[in-house]
């Protein structure tokens, strides 16, 4: 007959109904943990999407602001101030820009240039911070 070692003990008999409850509890905890991980992934994906859409809107606005500066230049300070608007999709939203003008002094080799053009800075208003993720400035 085979002899058992002293360290080996026979397994205790656990009632089968209790084992089923343990497995169900482990499965419930596992499903809960998977749900938490899934929610974390959805949250991070939504944050990335918001950041991506703000970057796209910002790039579109900056390209339009640069175009306005090239097309109208210093006349945005006086005559063409109503043209300082960017048009953004998807609903063709008009965002009126803040136009900041300042006089400049230009000297070339010690000679002052008379009546140099004004320095023009276009900026998005603070009310559009949610759309762009902050204030955008062009012309500084």
pLDDT in tens, 77-111: 887 778 888 888 777 788 888 888 888 788 888 88
Q: Domain limits at 86? A: 16-138
Q: How far is CA 91 from the centre of its chain?
A: 19
Q: Does 12 score more than 90 pLDDT?
A: no
pLDDT digits (tens, 9 = 90+) for 22-57: 788 889 999 999 999 999 999 999 999 988 988 888
- With respect to residue 8, please indicate whether it lies within any of the assigned structural domains: no
Number of domains forming the structure of the chain: 1
- In this prediction, residue 118 carries a pLDDT of 80
- With respect to residue 33, please indicate whether it lies within any of the assigned structural domains: yes
- With respect to residue 2, please indicate whether it lies within any of the assigned structural domains: no
- With respect to residue 104, please indicate whether it lies within any of the assigned structural domains: yes
- With respect to residue 40, please indicate whether it lies within any of the assigned structural domains: yes
- With respect to residue 10, please indicate whether it lies within any of the assigned structural domains: no
- With respect to residue 4, please indicate whether it lies within any of the assigned structural domains: no
Dihedral-angle region of residue 13 (phi above 0 means left; psi in -120 to 50 means alpha; beta otherwise): beta
Q: Using alpha carbons only, what angle is made at residue 124 by residues 122 and 126, rounded to the nearest 5 degrees?
A: 135
**What is the pLDDT averaged over residues 51-70?**
89
- With respect to residue 5, please indicate whether it lies within any of the assigned structural domains: no
């Amino acid at each position: 007959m085979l002899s058992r070692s002293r360290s080996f003990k026979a397994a205790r008999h656990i009632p089968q109904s209790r084992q089923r409850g343990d497995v169900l509890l482990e499965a419930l905890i596992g499903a809960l943990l998977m749900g938490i991980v899934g929610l974390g992934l959805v949250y991070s994906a939504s944050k990335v999407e918001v950041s991506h859409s703000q970057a796209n809107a910002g790039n579109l606005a900056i390209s339009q602001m640069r175009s306005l500066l090239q097309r109208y230049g210093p006349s945005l300070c006086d005559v063409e101030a109503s043209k300082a608007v960017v048009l953004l999709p998807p609903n063709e939203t008009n965002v009126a820009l803040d136009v900041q003008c300042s006089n400049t002094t230009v000297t070339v080799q010690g000679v002052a240039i008379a009546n140099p053009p004004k320095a023009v800075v276009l900026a998005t208003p603070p009310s559009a911070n949610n759309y762009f993720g902050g204030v955008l400035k062009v012309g500084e």
